[in-house]
Amino acid sequence: MEWLVPVAVALIGGPLVVVVQSLRKENTSQHAEARELLKMVASKVDKVDDKLDGHISWHVSKTRKPKVKKQEEIIIKAD
């Protein structure tokens, strides 16, 4: 009768270990996919950052004349 306890533990615990291991492998693969996606996003953000830096530099280095609105003279004729 002492052999019954280890057999029961093996029958219950064995399938649980198999399920936990398969979930662990799936989780690892999902993390790997997420890591690759994050690398892609980071490279795109770096490209936008470089473009934005160039655009801001262009605005800073560009010498612009201030726009002055010409006021129109309004002539009122006296009758």
pLDDT tens digits, the chain, 79 residues: what are they? 788 888 888 888 888 888 888 777 777 888 889 999 999 999 999 999 999 998 988 888 876 666 666 666 666 666 5
44-75 CB burial, b ≥16 within 10 A, e <16: eeeeeeeeeeeeeeeeeeeeeeeeeeeeeeee
| Amino acid symbol at 30 | Q
Domain chopping of the chain, boundaries: 1-58
What distances in angstroms separate CA 9 from CA 16, 23, 57, 59, one per listed residue? 11, 21, 70, 73
Q: What is the pTM of this model?
A: 0.44
Cα–chain center distance at 49: 14
pLDDT at 3: 83
